[in-house]
Homo-oligomer: A and B are copies of this chain.
Amino acid sequence: MFVENRLHHQLQSIEPILEETSLHLLQAGGKRLRPVFVLLSGSFGVYDRDLLASAAVAIELIHMATLVHDDVIDNADMRRGRPTVKANYGNRLAMYTGDFIFAQALFVLSELPDKNLHKQLSSAIERMTIGEIEQIRDLYNFDQQMRKYLVRIRRKTALLIEMSCMLGGVVSEAGARHVSALRRFGYYAGMAFQITDDILDFTATAQQLGKPVGSDLRQGNMTAPTLFTLCEKEVGDELRELLARVNAGDAFKNRDALERAVELVKSGSGVARSQALANRYLEKAHAALNTLPETRERGILLAMSGFISSRDR
């Protein structure tokens, strides 16, 4: 794929170790969801393959840079079934790898003519950063409102998908109404995507996830399934008590409490309620799509958003 070659090319460095760490991350795969959204969204105006590829590569690089930094922060050892850059090369190299990839994104962004795009992407990075800070701040916060979770995942995930669709529209000069529809589609699809991710963290197998089941809960990250379960009458109280114990004690001693907590969330109503929430976002995504011309690419965007919420990993 054209974009894949460009990504590969952009991560070459005069410093072998930096290239090795970056390619380690690149070759770990990933769905390249954001580049595909850019390219498809670019079909509603004047399709310029090179310009759209630049936008797609820039977005994926920003995504990759935040992934490396998040793995440092989360102390994560596995991602996509492979050791993280942090686990293989240590925190220091992981941080500089992230900085390097940010710099490469800046390089590619210079290909895009519209200055406003730079400002919007800059603002997006700021808000993504805030999303991560909020996530840290709200670890083990059992009493947070669902709204807080939604704002957090909007910043953490939906925003960059929204930007991907917006970018495709702007770069191909699709016109303000189309760009606005693409943007809304990206936002709603991005929300559905993250909620589905948070559900899979409980319902998929460790093999499917490439990391332990219930990783979010192990880190104290309260996602939709947990928050809904906490609202249940008796089950909620037991879960709250278990999580408080985990938070207070050391991880090893509380392994049993954690396993029980994961079981409670899996068996309660939280998963089904989260699925209903994801579906509501998907419906809004489809409504936004319906205002766009009925093209083949619109059909593919529709199919992709469907895949997002029915995937099993």
Q: Which A residues have a C-beta under 8 Å from some C-beta of B?
A: 13-15, 17-18, 65-66, 69, 72-73, 92-93, 95-96, 98-100, 102-104, 106-107, 109-111, 115-116, 118-119, 121-123, 125-127, 129-130, 132-134, 136
**Interchain residue pairs with CB less than 8 A apart (24):** A13-B130, A15-B133, A15-B134, A18-B129, A65-B99, A66-B99, A69-B95, A69-B96, A69-B99, A92-B133, A96-B129, A96-B133, A100-B129, A102-B125, A103-B123, A104-B122, A106-B109, A106-B118, A107-B119, A107-B122, A107-B123, A110-B116, A110-B119, A110-B122
- Bound-state CA distance A224–B83 (Å) is 38
Pick from A14, A115, A122, A130 the residue with the most CB of B within 10 Å: A122
List the B side residues contacting A133 at CB < 8 Å.
Answer: 15, 17-18, 92-93, 96
- Bound-state CA distance A121–B109 (Å) is 12
> Do A72 and B95 form a contact, CB below 8 Å, given A106-B125, A129-B18?
yes
Question: Closest approach, in angstroms, between the C-beta of A199 and any C-beta of chain B?
Answer: 26
For A93, the closest partner residue in chain B by CB is B133
> Do A107 and B103 form a contact, CB below 8 Å, given A95-B72, A129-B96?
no
- Bound-state CA distance A102–B72 (Å) is 18
A126, B95: Cβ atoms closer than 8 Å: no
- Bound-state CA distance A96–B127 (Å) is 11
- Apart from the given pairs A100-B129, A110-B118, 7 other A-B contacts in the complex at a CB distance below 8 Å: A14-B130, A92-B133, A96-B132, A103-B129, A106-B125, A107-B118, A110-B119
Question: Closest approach, in angstroms, between the C-beta of A75 and any C-beta of chain B?
Answer: 10
Pick from A14, A66, A102 the residue with the most CB of B within 10 Å: A102
For A17, the closest partner residue in chain B by CB is B133
A130, B73: Cβ atoms closer than 8 Å: no
- Bound-state CA distance A93–B13 (Å) is 28
List the B side residues contacting A111 at CB < 8 Å.
Answer: 115
List the B side residues contacting A104 at CB < 8 Å.
Answer: 122, 126
- Bound-state CA distance A129–B104 (Å) is 12
List the B side residues contacting A65 at CB < 8 Å.
Answer: 99
Question: Closest approach, in angstroms, between the C-beta of A252 and any C-beta of chain B?
Answer: 23
B126, A103: Cβ atoms closer than 8 Å: yes
List the B side residues contacting A122 at CB < 8 Å.
Answer: 103-104, 106-107, 110
A126, B93: Cβ atoms closer than 8 Å: no
- Bound-state CA distance A111–B116 (Å) is 9
- Bound-state CA distance A43–B127 (Å) is 37
For A92, the closest partner residue in chain B by CB is B73
- Bound-state CA distance A133–B121 (Å) is 28
List the B side residues contacting A99 at CB < 8 Å.
Answer: 65-66, 69, 98, 102, 125, 129
